[in-house]
C-alpha cells in the first residue's frame, strides 16, 4: 500500500510539474534593458506583445523593463525571462556567470552591412572641447557598468589610445544611469563628456542611422548642432538576441524564425524595437562574442 501511494504521489507530482511547466510556457517573457525612460521602452516593444502570441504559439507576451542592465541579466540567469536583446558585455556577464543559461541566436546588421557599432564620446559644442586631448582633466560620464559601449570598450580602448589609465587622464568619472540619462547629464553640465552608442554611419545631423544618439534626436532630446563627437571606439560586435535555454524548443524555433522575417514582414516593428535603421538580423553564436567575453573577464572579472 505504501509503495502504491508513493508511486501515485510521484506520478501526481510529475503531472503537476508538467502542468506548471506548460502553464509557464503559455507566457513568453521579454526583458528590456534600462537606460531609456520606461514609457518609451514599453511603447517601442508593444508590437512584440501584439504579434508574438500568434507567431510562436503562446497565450500572452509580457514585457519586463528593468531599471538597469543588471536587472535583465539577473532575470536571464534566474530563468524568469525567455528573451532579451543584450549588449555584448551584458551577454559576457551572463556567460561568465553561467555558460548554460542562454544562447545568442541573432544580431542586427547595419544598413552598410556591418555587424558592429561604435562607442562615441559627445561633448557640448559650447564647452570649447574639440578633441579627446581637450578632455584631459575633465569629467567623463559612463552609461552603465554592464554596458559594452557605455563602459567596457571605452575603459579598455581609451587607456590604450591615451597611454595612461582612465583615472589618471580624466579628472573624474561617473555613471549617468543609462545611455540616455548620461547624455542628458552631459548636456546639463554634470559631465564634460559622455560615451554612448551609435551605428556611426549615416548623417551626423540625424544622429546617424541608429543607436542612442539617433533615438534622442528623434525624441527631440538632442540637437547635433549643439554637440561635438570627440572620440570613437574600434568597431564593437552588435549585441545578441539571446534566448533562455529553458525555453521550449518548438517555441524557440518559431521565435527565431519570426525575428529573422521581421525586417521584411513587420518593418515598423523592427525599426521600433531596434531604435533606428537596420538592414536585417543575422545568425550568431557564442564564437562571435569571444573577444568581448575575454575583455570583460580581464577587465571586470565577471
**Are residues 257 and 280 located together in one domain of the fold?**
yes
Residue 22 maps to a domain: no
Task: List pLDDT tens digits, range 65-111.
Answer: 999 999 999 999 999 999 999 999 999 999 999 999 999 999 999 99
Residue 88 maps to a domain: yes
**Are residues 129 and 84 located together in one domain of the fold?**
no
**Are residues 126 and 180 located together in one domain of the fold?**
yes
Number of domains composing the chain: 2
Q: What is the mean pLDDT of the chain?
A: 91
In the block, which residue shows the cell 563628456?
193
Instruction: Domain of residue 185: give its range.
Output: 116-236
Task: List pLDDT tens digits, range 209-228.
Answer: 999 999 999 999 999 999 99
Q: Report the pLDDT value the prediction gives residue 22, as an integer from 0 to 100.
A: 37
**Are residues 103 and 122 located together in one domain of the fold?**
no
CB 140 within 8 A of CB 176: no
**Are residues 166 and 67 located together in one domain of the fold?**
no
Q: Report the pLDDT value the prediction gives residue 21, as an integer from 0 to 100.
A: 41
* Cell triple for 168: 589618471
**Are residues 262 and 191 located together in one domain of the fold?**
no
Which residues, at least 6 apart from 297, have a Cβ–Cβ distance to it below 8 Å? 92, 96
* Cell triple for 156: 579598455
**Are residues 100 and 248 located together in one domain of the fold?**
yes
**Are residues 248 and 107 located together in one domain of the fold?**
yes
- Quickly list DSSP for 75-137: HHHTT--SEEE--HHHHHHHHHH-TTSEEEEEEEE-TTS-SEEEEEEEEEGGGT--SGGGGTT
**Are residues 31 and 180 located together in one domain of the fold?**
no
Cα separation, 187 vs 184, whole angstroms: 5
Residue 249 maps to which CATH number?
Answer: 3.40.190.10
**Are residues 138 and 37 located together in one domain of the fold?**
no
**Are residues 174 and 212 located together in one domain of the fold?**
yes
Amino acid at each position: 500500500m505504501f509503495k502504491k501511494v508513493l508511486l501515485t504521489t510521484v506520478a501526481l507530482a510529475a503531472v503537476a510539474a508538467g502542468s506548471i511547466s506548460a502553464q509557464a510556457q503559455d507566457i513568453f517573457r521579454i526583458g528590456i534593458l534600462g537606460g531609456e525612460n520606461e514609457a518609451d521602452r514599453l511603447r517601442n516593444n508593444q508590437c512584440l506583445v501584439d504579434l508574438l502570441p500568434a507567431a510562436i504559439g503562446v497565450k500572452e507576451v509580457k514585457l519586463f523593463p528593468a531599471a538597469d542592465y543588471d536587472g535583465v541579466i539577473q532575470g536571464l540567469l534566474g530563468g524568469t525571462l525567455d528573451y532579451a536583446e543584450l549588449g555584448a558585455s551584458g551577454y559576457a556577464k551572463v556567460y561568465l556567470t553561467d555558460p548554460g543559461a542562454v544562447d545568442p541566436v541573432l544580431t542586427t546588421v547595419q544598413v552598410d552591412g556591418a555587424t558592429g557599432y561604435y562607442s562615441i564620446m559627445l561633448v557640448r559644442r559650447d564647452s570649447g572641447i574639440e578633441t579627446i586631448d581637450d578632455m584631459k582633466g575633465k569629467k567623463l560620464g559612463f552609461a552603465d557598468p554592464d554596458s559594452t559601449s557605455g563602459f567596457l570598450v571605452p575603459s579598455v580602448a581609451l587607456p590604450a589610445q591615451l597611454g595612461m589609465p582612465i583615472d589618471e587622464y580624466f579628472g573624474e568619472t561617473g555613471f549617468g544611469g543609462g545611455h540616455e540619462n548620461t547624455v542628458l547629464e552631459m548636456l546639463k553640465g554634470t559631465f564634460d563628456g559622455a560615451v554612448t552608442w551609435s551605428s556611426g554611419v549615416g548623417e551626423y545631423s540625424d544622429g546617424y542611422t541608429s543607436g542612442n544618439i539617433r533615438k534622442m534626436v528623434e525624441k527631440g532630446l538632442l540637437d547635433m548642432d549643439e554637440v561635438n563627437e570627440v572620440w570613437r571606439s574600434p568597431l564593437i560586435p552588435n549585441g545578441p538576441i539571446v534566448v533562455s535555454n529553458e525555453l521550449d524548443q518548438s517555441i524557440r524555433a518559431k521565435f527565431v524564425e519570426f525575428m529573422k522575417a521581421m525586417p521584411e514582414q513587420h518593418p515598423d516593428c523592427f525599426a521600433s524595437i531596434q531604435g533606428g535603421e537596420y538592414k536585417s538580423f543575422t545568425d550568431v553564436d557564442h564564437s562571435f562574442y569571444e573577444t568581448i567575453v575575454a575583455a570583460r573577464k580581464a577587465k571586470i572579472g565577471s
